[in-house]
Structure 1
Amino acid sequence: MNTSTSARSGLFLGHRGFRLLFTADAISQLGSQVAVVALPLIALTSLNASPLEIGLLTAAGTAAFAFVGLPAGAWVDRFRRRPVLVAADFSRFLLMGSVPIAALLDVLTLPHLYVVALLAGVGTVFFDVASMSYVPSLIARENLLSANARLEAVETGARAGGPALGGWLVQLTNAVVGIAVDAVSFLLSAVALARIRHVEERPVVVKTRLRRQIAEGGRFVLRHPVLRLVGLAGFLGNFWESALLAVQPVFLLEHLGLGAGAYGLVVAAAGLGGLLGSSAASCAGARIGTRRTMWLPLVAGYPFLLLAPLAGSGWLVLLYPLGTFLAFFGGAMQNVAQLSYRQGICPPELLGRMNATLRFLIYGAMPLGGLAGGVLATVLGFPGSVWMIAAGLLLSILPMLAPAVRHLDESERAAA
């Protein structure tokens, strides 16, 4: 592995390559979380979208994980990862930039938003798979837990600040400005990534059919007693989380009557919980070990999701952000632990395909969950649909309580 001396000493925040990757990720994640508020608000306020159409928009944004998630890993393993990251960011800049242009020309439609969400999702798939496979080439394996904790903190920090910023922008201007901010963030991220000087080793490309390469990654995950449980828990969790994202705008904006600014603050609570949870992940891993960090935070945090459907007028609205804050605190801590574990046990030549297989299993559930959320909101209304989703999220942690995870051999990761 071509790793600098500073990275091996653990001072990777002084490592130029990781610092630029960290910066690029922070910029694009913040812009994307602004769009989390702005995109459904455009659909609701400018295009009069129904709850089912909001569900379809949520599904379109994540459908790429189901359609190209598996081949993306095999393709990424054939190329150096940094050019893939730059190309994915630049393509998303062009796609998201088309929305404010269409709005200015008064030609923006729901099908346009669906197409942009779908194609930007393809860019996100390639970016995420390449990023997770790129980090181990920059950072020594003994530092992966701390490096992933910092990157997870970026994502969850953006989830904390982005929606609040998005709500503020929408309230002061309009939702189109939020999408423009997202587009610019992708361009800035691409520029930062292009400045990384770290020289990646050229992947050794074996002339094997794409289908066979995909199957190798799938076999590695499905035959591993812990990774297949990580995939199952992630599938269930993301299914119900996407359902929540689909009903959340209608529940908070129309059912509870929140304004755009208040909506952004309430949604930001989950990101704030995730930020604090990811920041605590390294300390938790050192104190209680990877094994316990992969399940105990879920048991402690996810039951509080049952507070969300109790939200109402006045001070009762605080029950929603309180429940999501505590749940995502535990979820982010667990996510850092499982990501570091799987990076540590996987052979370098399989990293892209292993990550893509798990992303396919975990994120392939998101379009299904988005559609389910729209259907539940239409059939059950509020708060019935939120009760159903909260119960589903709570049950999604059961695979991580299996003996294979709770009795995980810590030496397996250390030896990897």
Structure 2
Amino acid sequence: MPLDDELHFSVLDLIFIWLGLVTFLFDLGTDVWVLAYFFLAGDYFWGGTVLFLIIFCSVVVQLFSWFWLAGDREQLRDRSHPELSPALKCEVGDRVLRLLHGLQLGFLVRYATALELGYRAYKEGNTVVLQYTIYLVSDISMLRLFEIIFESAPQLILMLYIIQLRNQMELHQYFSIVACFLSIAWAHLDFQKSLRRSLRNKMRLGFMSAVSYFVFNLLFICPRIFSIALFASIFKFYVLLHFALIWLSMFIWAWRQGTDFMNSYPEEVFYRGTVAVILYFTWLNIAEGKTSIRQIIYHSFMAVDCGILVGFWWLYKDPVLTTSYMLPLVIAISSSYLLGLIVKCMYYKYLHPTVTTEYSLTDETDSLQEDGFRSTCESRPLINERMKILANSFCSPKPEGNKLHSNIVETQI
């Protein structure tokens, strides 16, 4: 697998953008279906809960989309590079964009713009348009990760809670649960691929590497969701206290890592709060430093926390209603988390691109410019600095925070 320093855009890339749009619309349709199911069945409480989660998730995603578009477009207009104008002409005006985001349509606008630019890049071979397409797709992958975690994870907990409450599972619930788990794992994989594409001299994931990355994320998210759902089935109000305590801990952790990801301080606080929600469910590295040490701390903490949640459920469960599945479920949760650790260790030991590829590091550094999210250079005038910051967060040798002015040597993600 060679080092990938050249920009490419193929039919397969266009297909992946289309698939992303289709899955987004499919998830939206599933949400409407679930809402209709609850309201038609007279379950207004659960229907209202799902509706709140959908609206809250959409508002968060639209806010991030608008923050990034507003800041980036202003900075790109200030660039003196003459090749930037063709890409910027593809987008609508600021007032229209603001209105579309207010109507919760900003994410769809991003997909539509990426498809238009991607087709132009494929047909015309315009380098700047190609770079701007990758630039937008990178943001889409991160927004998609936010959307999946904020929406699918709580919905999974809610569905599992209702199944335990009614002691039965309907066919549509089974398919919804499987689809949500697969969507979360896929969003992680897509995000990882976008991270790699945001750095020069990086290596893409091979097939087996991508499969193992998908598998261990799936194996980690399943026990986390199930342990929370089990705890919620007994202590439905205390789960909110549990979320608040863990979220606060993760928010402090994100704060201590000194992230510098957004345009302004209030936006940065909002970003750290959002990251804390993601960390409640799954791992996400957001700053430079010893990634292995952070992951060991995080997974150890999550293992203990899941054990406590399942332990409380075990002590206070109904022995009659749960006798058919309590022991197999506990074994499955424990085995899934342990197997996830094993697969993840095997990935970093045998399947990580820096292991499967022979290459040599040079003294070249990948500087993050001080003048905002995007940087201009002779070879790649458009680089998504947000994704580059996160990509470098997985590989920096020193825990000095991910400030935009840091000089970082690329090693591995």
**What is the TM-score with the length of structure 1 in the denominator?**
0.32
**What is the TM-score with the length of structure 2 in the denominator?**
0.33
Higher RCO (C-alpha under 8 Å, 6+ residues apart)? 1
Larger radius of gyration: 2
